[in-house]
Chains A and B, each alone.
Chain A
Amino acid sequence: MEASLITNPVSISGDEAIEKLTAQVSALEEANANLQLLDEVMRRNNAMFEAILTNSWQGITLTSPDRRILKVVHGLTGHNAPELQGVLIESLAVPEDREIILDAYRKLLRRVCAKIAIELRVPRVDGTIAWFSATVTDMLDNPNVQCIVWNYTDITREKDPGLSPVSY
């Protein structure tokens, strides 16, 4: 994709030059209008996705094959998402459940399966422990994603129905 339109600076004098320049200005104006339209569409789409994700019960996190967090698209534990970038995802889980994550990555990278479902416990920012049911998907071969994608939901209440709403 060519990203800029640069005028050929061969000097032309007279009406021909004015005509050419006018034509180029028109073309630039048209291109600029198209870009503005595209920008507006993208802005609206982004806002819409953000609104949908904010109200979603599902968390989404992207990691690299070496298990480092690339981006928390929508978090459920109360952590500041940008601060988690580069952190090993298993370090967020309780120590007893970390091996589950390591094993899931091993299986995905060896192509034993493309998607794996796991359950694990993760401490929230407030110190309580949450149970998550996660689907970890290998999307390394998708050129638009190229990472390991986590989709997860909080199942703490299902695991311990006796929890008070406050604890939950």
Chain B
Amino acid sequence: MVSIKEYLNRGDSQAALLDFLSYLIEKMGSSAVAVDQLEYAAFVADIDRIRESLTPGLGYDAAMVLAGAATQALETYNGSVTRLVHKQGREMQSIIKMMAETVVYVGGENTRSVRRLQEIGDEFERAGAITDLQALKGHLSECLRGFREEALRQKEQADILIAGLRKQIESASALAAETQEALDPATGLPGKEACLKTMQDPVAIGKRRYVVTMSVNRIQSINARFGHRAGDRILRFYGNFITHQLNPADKIFRWTGPAMVALIERSETLDRVRDQIRRIMEMRLDENLELEERAVLIPVSAAWSVFQLIAVTTAERQIQAFIASQGNREFV
């Protein structure tokens, strides 16, 4: 290859030198890599300007100055392109790292996912050392393929997990519906059937089972005045009150209408138990009922009786007789 200096020393014609320089400068422009379109356009415009300055009859010195300017422009442009490529590389790595972290986060505590994604992360680290763009692209493609495979695997796992969870929800819903059926919707207490069943359970040694029957007063009147929702609310209120007053082991049931039954086990005599129940029943209770435009304070009380449970059929008759006797006391 002939250098420019040799070319000058040979004393060849000036025109040939200028043509040669023009050719070189043009090639500089056309061979440059266009990374940033604006910078590339500016560089090409500079080169074109320099080349157009190589007019016939231009002296050697002036031609050398223009050649130097073209070289300087190319060096500056190359430096800018290199910085830009490095910057893009860093950005790409940062994006990929962020993606890797995201996928690790999504993977949760799945050990296999963490390991696999860690491997992919290491691959990214290694990609940082690759300066060749083509090689970097190839490496990143590999990494992304790994990502896709891992993402697919995780999706399959998630599908299996979702199917399992759906099954669990279905079975839990069925169980909840079953429990709900057994409970009285107004008070949330178990109903009459559950009460009769519990009466048959064995009694703890040294204890007797007593039946406390309660009939909440004025429910018919409250229903008539404020609607059935208000009546249900009063029953719920009374059910909660009794539940909190009796022992945690005592069982409370919604019988029918305004009647509730508590099955309690005590070692004391009937008279003592009756005194205990009387103290509870004599408490003054009020429930604030919110109407549309105002609140009304409803006094809540109940008629009650206590007897010792001997036989289930007798107990059921006694409870029914007590409830019937209370029905006549209701008035609107």
Contact = CB atoms under 8 A, between A and B. Distances in A.
Given A4-B322, A65-B225, A110 B305 contact: no
Contacts of A66: 227
Interface stretch (B53-61, B118-126, B296-304): B296-304
A2 B278 contact: yes
A6 B304 contact: no
A109 B293 contact: yes
A66 B289 CA distance: 14
A146 B226 CA distance: 10
Interface stretch (B36-44, B91-99, B162-170, B268-276): B268-276
B221 A64 contact: no
A9 B310 contact: yes
B224 A70 contact: yes
Contacts of A85: 332
Contact of B274 (A2, A110, A141): A2
Nearest to B286: A143
A111 B227 CA distance: 21
B77 interface: no
B317 to A, nearest CB: 12
Contacts, number: 65
A68 to B, nearest CB: 8
A8 interface: yes
B: contact size bracket:
20 to 34
Given A3-B304, A4-B325, A146 B225 contact: yes
B225 A147 contact: yes
Which has the most chain A C-beta neighbours within 10 Å: B222, B293, B321?
A: B293
B303 A3 contact: yes
Interface string A85-129: 100000000000000000000100111000000000000000000
B293 A3 contact: no
Contact of B326 (A3, A8, A109, A143): A3
A142 to B, nearest CB: 10
B318 to A, nearest CB: 7
Nearest to B270: A8
B306 interface: yes
Interface string A74-86: 0000000000010
Given A2-B278, A9-B310, A146-B298, A64 B224 contact: yes
B291 interface: yes
B294 A2 contact: no
Contact of B306 (A6, A62, A141, A147): A6
Interface string A1-35: 11110101110000000000000000000000000
Given A109-B292, A111-B294, A70 B308 contact: no
B226 A9 contact: no
B307 interface: yes
A72 to B, nearest CB: 11
Nearest to B302: A1
A61 B280 CA distance: 37
A4 B269 CA distance: 17
A138 to B, nearest CB: 9
Contacts of A65: 225-226, 291, 296
A155 interface: no
Given A2-B278, A6-B305, A65-B291, A141 B225 contact: no
Nearest to A8: B270
A146 B292 contact: no
B225 to A, nearest CB: 4
A140 interface: yes
Given A109-B291, A110-B294, A143-B299, A70 B225 contact: yes
A2 B305 contact: yes
A9 B308 contact: yes
Interface of B: 221-222, 224-227, 269-271, 274, 278, 291-294, 296-299, 303-308, 310, 318, 321-322, 325-326, 332
Given A8-B271, A65-B291, A109-B292, 12 more contacts: A1-B303, A2-B304, A3-B322, A4-B321, A4-B322, A6-B305, A6-B307, A66-B227, A70-B224, A71-B332, A110-B293, A146-B222
Interface of A: 1-4, 6, 8-10, 62, 64-66, 70-71, 85, 106, 109-111, 140-141, 143, 146-147
16 contacts: A1-B304, A2-B274, A3-B325, A6-B306, A6-B318, A8-B270, A9-B310, A70-B332, A109-B291, A110-B294, A140-B296, A141-B296, A143-B297, A143-B299, A146-B296, A146-B298
Q: Nearest 6 pairs between A and B by C-beta?
A: A6-B307, A109-B293, A8-B270, A64-B225, A143-B299, A4-B305
